[in-house]
Chains A and B, each alone.
Chain A
Amino acid sequence: MNAHLQGHTVSNLQAVATSPLLHVDNVSLEYRTAQRVVRATHHVSFEVGKADRFVLLGPSGCGKSTLLKAVAGFIEPQEGTIRLQDQAIKGPGPDRIVVFQEFDQLPPWKTVKQNVMFPLQVSGTLPRQEAEQRALHYLEKVGLAAFADAYPHTLSGGMKARVAIARALAMQPKILLMDEPFAALDALTRRKMQEELLLLWEEVRFTLLFVTHSIEEALVVGNRILLLSPHPGRVRAEIHSHQYGLHSLGGSEFQASARRIHRLLFDEEQAQNQVFDLDFTDVRIAY
């Protein structure tokens, strides 16, 4: 199997070719403040195929997190439909596990192992013993087997993010939803986590919907990127990025893509006419 993993480009294209897993169809989302109703996204449509690493990218306030929460079932769309395997989404459920940005997504009263077992048990997916085995299996995968009995408050930010990822993967959800999971980490840890996430994907082949505001992260993590315009979020473009990985950071094609995305996001028409002296800092705009 690993032989043709080398160019996972090929397998991705095959995956896309099969029937999509998640349909988001003309979805408009609104949220309510005390005084007014704010439109977060307007008529957004996209499809996520099996084993896709689909990234929602946009400036802050474009409704990408709101969109992810709608897929998770926390918010009901004002218009349009969201369907997972042709089932309309009604409320949150354990078939779509969310990894949040905040560190307090891990209940502090449970050890690392109990944290991973927790959703398996309360959702009735697995009985205790099997849940424990699966928890240890996935903790091994994220390299935290030695910390199984530690409490979350004793872990570093990167380790907490790993626990949250292990917990989500252990549920073997139909789709894994990640809401800027690495945004609160320092740059070095973030780079490491992106690398590990890609390695895990190579191994497990989960379907991922990933929200970020970093162009670089989108290009590295995703195989397809949906660009959303600023407030209210509308689809600006959908871009392939399967050819990039952490190894392509700093490459000229990579930077050209980053430039293109930047231009699309911020509508810098004049940018096309200028000749750019590209260097590494250009890619880091979104940080």
Chain B
Amino acid sequence: MTTPSSVRQEYEITLEPLLSVPLERELPMVQRLWQHSSLRKGLILLLLALVWETVARYQANDLLLPSFVQTSRALLDGLLSGELPTKVGVSLVVLLKGYLLGIILAFGLTSLAVSTQFGRDLLSTLTSMFNPLPAIALLPLSLLWFGLGDNSLIFVLVHSVLWALALNTYAGFLGVSETLRMAGRNYGLRGLRLVLHILIPAALPSILSGLRIGWAFAWRTLIAAELVFGATSGKGGLGWYIFQNRNELYTDKVFAGLAVVILIGLLVESLVFNSLERITIKRWGMQR
């Protein structure tokens, strides 16, 4: 034992309520604005457009690289004439059909995988077989089976969505903590009810990222399928629009078509997936 130092004195302080200093204060305006991701992203887009415009002007070859302004004009014309919206509509309807079907199948497969040993083996075998297979490589076969039309497109779309989503969802299910599972079972939840009440919400971060990847895969597959095989559905979608205009050397329209693909991607990303994340996993503190 050490003896307490005799130099230092003990003391007590009676604390008065702290009123002289404000307990919180607002951040400066600039910092608060900078918190908005839409503002930051808008700035990035603006910067890219500027670079594009400069390079195109420097290049000065409309056939190879139309400028940002020309592309915008072509885009506006296409939108106003109603040509682009109908093409986009055709593509989106097919896309959504394939996407939804893929989601349903993926959930069926993963639910089977978490409840039975056989389902688990089935899922892991099928995903390792088909996940590396490019969806577009199945299109010739699909055309043979389903003929020219939406059905053959939907088939390849399902293929592109299903495996990526199933893999992510299953990984998410495996990551659900044992405590949470036991808590669910403690209340008498079993089988499909356990999946619905515990596993799906708990695995939502992985499921959402699977949905994102699935959406991107589906979009890519659709445009590629339309580009390669033209108007499989007879009416033709966005891919067909790009393909046709390239043949006629309307490069600005090709760029407009590509811009629409990108814009839809950005819109879905920010409106659908980001808001889904914000009202679910971010609000619940499952993701920062």
Cα A122 to Cα B202 with chains together (Å)? 16
Query: Can you spell out 10 A-B residue pairs with CB atoms less than 8 angstroms apart?
Result: A92-B186, A93-B186, A98-B186, A102-B179, A104-B179, A107-B180, A107-B201, A108-B284, A122-B189, A171-B187
Contact in complex: B180, A151 (CB < 8 Å): no
Given contacts A107-B201, A119-B187, contact A152 B182 (CB under 8 A): no
| Cβ contacts under 8 Å, B231 to chain A | none
Find out whether the CB atom of A100 lies under 8 angstroms from the CB atom of B183: yes
In the complex formed, the residue of A with least CB distance to B204 is A109
Q: How far is the CB of A8 from chain B (nearest CB, A)?
A: 29
Point out the residue from B179, B182, B201, B202 that lies within 8 Å of A92, measured CB to CB: B182
Give the residues from 150 to 177 in chain A that come closer than 8 angstroms, CB to CB, to chain B: 151-154, 171
Q: Which A residues are CB-close (under 8 A) to B197?
A: 118, 122
Q: How far is the CA of A107 from the CA of B186 in the complex (A)?
A: 13
Whether A108 touches B186, Cβ cut-off 8 Å, given contacts A102-B179, A122-B197, is no
Taking CB atoms, residues of chain B closer than 8 Å to A252 are none
A154 contact set on B, CB distance < 8 A: 285
Are A98 and B180 within 8 A (Cβ)? no
Interface size on A, as a range, is: 20 to 34
Residues of A within 8 A of B (CB): 69, 72, 74, 91-94, 96-98, 100, 102, 104-105, 107-109, 118-119, 122-123, 151-154, 171
Given A107-B198, A109-B204, decide whether A122 and B280 contact each other with a Cβ distance below 8 A.
no
B286 within 8 A of A: yes
B188 partner, pick from A74, A93, A109, beta carbons under 8 A: A93
- Tell me the complex Cα distance, A105–B183, Å: 6
A104 to B180, CA, bound (A): 7
Within the complex, the shortest CB–CB distance from B91 to chain A, in Å, comes to: 34
Contact residue among A104, A118, A153 (Cβ-Cβ distance under 8 Å from B187): A118
- B235 located at the interface, meaning its Cβ lies under 8 Å from any Cβ of chain A in the complex: no
Residues A94 and B186 in contact in the complex (CB < 8 Å), given A107-B198, A122-B193: yes
C-alpha spacing A105/B179, complex, angstroms: 6
* Closest 9 pairs (CB-CB, A-B): A153-B285, A119-B187, A102-B179, A108-B284, A92-B185, A109-B201, A109-B284, A105-B179, A104-B177
Interface range, B side: 20 to 34
Binary interface profile of B, 160-189, with partner A (CB < 8 Å = 1, else 0)? 000000000000000001011011011111
Q: Does B32 contact A (CB under 8 A)?
A: no
A92-B188, A93-B188 are contacts. A108–B285 as well, Cβ < 8 Å? yes
Q: Does B283 contact A (CB under 8 A)?
A: yes
**A151 contacts B187, C-beta separation under 8 Å:** no
B182:A74 contact, CB within 8 angstroms = yes
B282 CB, min distance to chain A CBs, angstroms: 10
What is the chain B residue whose CB lies nearest that of A119?
Answer: B187
> Is A94 in contact with B187, judged by CB distance below 8 angstroms?
yes
- Expressed in whole angstroms, the minimum distance between the Cβ of B117 and any Cβ of chain A is 16
Q: Which residues of B contact A91 (CB under 8 A)?
A: 185
* B286→A122 contact, CB < 8 A: no
Contact B179 A123 (CB under 8 A): no
How many whole Å from B65's CB to the nearest CB in chain A?
48
Please indicate the chain B residues that have their CB under 8 angstroms from the CB of A119 in the complex: 186-187
B177 touches A151 (CB 8 A): no
Tell whether, in the assembled complex, residue A98 and residue B182 are in contact, meaning their CB atoms are under 8 Å apart: yes
Contact A100 B182 (CB under 8 A): yes
A91 to B183, CA, bound (A): 13
Contacts A100-B183, A107-B201 aside, 13 further interface pairs with beta carbons under 8 A come to A93-B188, A96-B186, A98-B183, A105-B179, A105-B180, A107-B198, A119-B187, A122-B193, A122-B197, A123-B187, A151-B284, A153-B286, A171-B187
The chain A residue with its CB closest to the CB of B198 is A107
Bound Cα distance from A152 to B187, whole angstroms: 19
Taking CB atoms and an 8 Å cut-off, the chain B residues in 251-288 that contact chain A are 280, 283-286
Known: A74-B185, A94-B188. A151 touches B193 (CB 8 A): no
A171, B186: Cα distance in complex, Å: 11
Once bound together, how far apart are the Cα atoms of A97 and B186, in whole Å? Answer: 6
Residues of B within 8 A of A152 (CB): 285
Minimum CB–CB distance for A219 against chain B, Å: 27
Residues of B near A102 (CB, < 8 A) are 177, 179
* Interfacial chain A residues near B280, Cβ < 8 Å: 109
Residues of B within 8 A of A151 (CB): 283-285
Set of chain B residues within 8 Å of A171, measured between Cβ atoms: 187
Q: Report the Cα distance A123→B189, complex, angstroms.
A: 8
Bound CA–CA A69/B182 (angstroms): 10
Contact, CB under 8 Å: A122 / B285: no
Q: Determine which residue in A69, A92, A105 has the highest number of CB atoms from chain B within 10 A of its CB, and name it.
A: A92
Bound together, the chains give a CA A98 to CA B183 distance in angstroms of 7
Question: Which residues of B are found within 8 Å of A122, using beta-carbon distances?
Answer: 187-189, 193, 197
Closest CB-CB distance, A66 to chain B, in whole Å?
A: 13
